[in-house]
Amino acid sequence: MKRVIVGMGMCGLSAGARAVFDRLETLRAARPDAFELSITGCIGMCYREPLVEVRENGSRMIFGDVTAARAEEILASCVFGGGGPGEGEAVYWEKADGSRGGTEQDFLGAQQRIVLRNCGTINPESLEEYRAAGGYEALRKALLEMAPAAIIEEVKASGLRGRGGAGFPTGVKWSFVAANQADRKYVVCNADEGDPGAFMDRSVLESDPHSVIEGMIICARAVGAYFGYIYCRAEYPLAIRRLTLALDAARRAGFLGRNILGSGLDFDVKIKQGAGAFVCGEETALFQSIEGHRGMPRIRPPFPAEKGLWQKPTNNNNVETYANIPWIISHGAQAYAAYGTERSRGTKVFALAGKIARGGLAEVACGTPINDLVHRIGGGIKGGRTFKAVQMGGPSGGCIPAELGGTPVDFESIPRTGAIMGSGGMVVLDDTACMVEIARFFLDFTQKESCGKCTFCRIGTLRLLEILERITQGEGRPEDLDKLSQLAAQVKDASLCGLGQTAPNPVLTTLKYYRHEYEAHIRDRKCPAAHCNALVDFFIDPITCTGCTLCAKQCPVNAISGKPKEKHVIDTAVCAKCGKCIATCNFGAIYKR
């Protein structure tokens, strides 16, 4: 029987997948023996959602931008045999003989999917489908065929480094926890994911929750833990719901609880919902939150491997790190280490966002150049504009100019640019981006998210933000650039946790690569990207203007004049530069310069 599958990750649901699924369900009710209807998570092509896939005899066709009406056409063609969309209109297709094609072949074909191996291919709410894809076989092997020390050695040999941002060797971290004796130990999964533009962990939890759970259980066996927590922000309701379903199914199947698979391991997992504090991405602040306290970092040492959650030895990794573990145990350390570079083994998942043509999730081998992610997988810049930079690592990261697009994405090369790998957020910027404003945006975020515990983070980020705001408002002073550099260095050196230590990175990297834009703001009182309203004037193109009068009606200071059906003009001396005219104009006649 043919199988029709609807992508029901949050990206798909936001694009209208629920209406598509409901329509298909109605059609199936009329002919229940014609096809099976199922759901899946995010395959990564968020830019083409809603997605509908048709499978039969080892072949698959995926259709993008599907509406309820088009879903009916696809059904008529691919299931009932009538006219309508076929292979030629599929965004991606594979045949049983291994051949593949479609308009989005470059997006998927250029990837190495280990973490995302099941995302968009299995039903995330079905334990049976996860097991059919090899799920929990790694757990069986780890519990029944491997000693705890052997598990740790396998993870060490794989070269897997923590994918949450710091890149610490995972097997080494596990060995530290295993070496500390205590009456109880904990395994924690950091699923907080607070970076603007990042959605890797959310998509994995929504699309393949059992892989994370299985990785946590294997870790518990390796380090000797008896209980685990998944710290997931409450803003991820679908991820939490599917995690809850997966945990319940794992318990019923005997993969969680007492004496798992007869191995003698007792281990269970609880979800802790976070309230959205960015600082709780720092592990000791996360522990504080789980314990019921305000999320504020602790002084280290002692480190979590010795005294973590409730002062007991604790292992903390993020979602992507744990999702790698079952694959490594099943396929072997050497198979994993075959991907990547000498010091950055394996793959890395990136969330492509911003001005990219193909926004979504991509998993590539470490060492892949930035340009491959932006141009080959991401399809380049929207609207054919010029690639200017990527902002990597979220608020803790930095901006890498297009001139350094050949830089490999790994744990050694990216830090040399001044940015960091981070958890995998990659915001692509085009030539309309003002780099001073980008720095201001991220400083505004980190300043608001500072827990306030240490002075340099609490006050230092505020002073940095005040200077940046002054510059973008046309009130910058020549000495501001030296002040930014000096203060950024002090905040990095004197802050207690990673939030403050990395908060100045957007400032430092934009100063390093785009100092001329800062100087233009200060010296010339101009924004080269024509983004900062205080430093530009608004004009109406007389050729494009139709005289519809909408802009004049919306102007709060009556700066726009002109008769109906005749060209309009803006009095720049009166204009408040609010931008309402640009938002109102339906003809693109108003521009900034």
Question: Within 450-573, where are the H helices?
Answer: 455, 461-472, 480-494, 498-502, 505-513, 515-519, 550-554
Question: pLDDT at position 434, please?
Answer: 97
- What share of the chain in percent tops pLDDT 70? 99
Encode pLDDT of 295-318 as tens digits.
999 988 999 999 999 999 999 999
Question: pLDDT at position 207, please?
Answer: 97
Residue 262 tokens read as: 């007869």
For the segment 422-432, the average pLDDT, to the nearest whole number, is 92
Pairing assessment for the beta strands 560-561 and 569-570 based on DSSP bridges: antiparallel
Closest CA to 456 of 499, 505, 394, 506: 499
Question: pLDDT at position 109, please?
Answer: 86
* Radius of gyration of the chain from its Cα atoms, rounded to whole angstroms: 26
Decide if 399 contacts 433 (C-beta within 8 A): no
- What share of the chain in percent tops pLDDT 90? 85
AA identity, residue 484:
L
**What do you get for the CA distance between the two ends of the chain, in Å?**
60
Which position has the token pair 């827990």? 451
Mean pLDDT of the chain: 94
Which position has the token pair 């004037």? 537
Full-prediction pTM beyond 0.75? yes
Decide if 315 contacts 219 (C-beta within 8 A): yes
Encode pLDDT of 392-405 as tens digits.
988 888 999 999 99
Q: What sign does the CA torsion over 305, 310, 312, 314 have?
A: negative
Examine the pLDDT at 181 and tell me if it is beyond 80: yes
Quote the DSSP letter at residue 358.
S
Question: pLDDT at position 83, please?
Answer: 53
Pairing assessment for the beta strands 186-191 and 227-233 based on DSSP bridges: parallel
Question: pLDDT at position 106, please?
Answer: 87
Question: pLDDT at position 396, please?
Answer: 85
196 Cβ contact list (under 8 Å, min separation 6): 394, 395, 425, 427, 442, 445
Question: pLDDT at position 85, please?
Answer: 56
Examine the pLDDT at 366 and tell me if it is beyond 90: yes
Is the preceding omega at residue 313 within 30 degrees of 0, hence cis? no
Coil, helix or strand for 124? coil
Examine the pLDDT at 267 and tell me if it is beyond 80: yes
Decide if 151 contacts 142 (C-beta within 8 A): yes
Helix (H) or strand (E) holding 203: helix 200-207
Pairing assessment for the beta strands 2-7 and 35-40 based on DSSP bridges: parallel
Examine the pLDDT at 511 and tell me if it is beyond 90: yes
Quote the DSSP letter at residue 47.
G
Count of residues making up the chain = 593
Helix (H) or strand (E) holding 390: strand 387-392
Cross-strand pairs, 100: 94
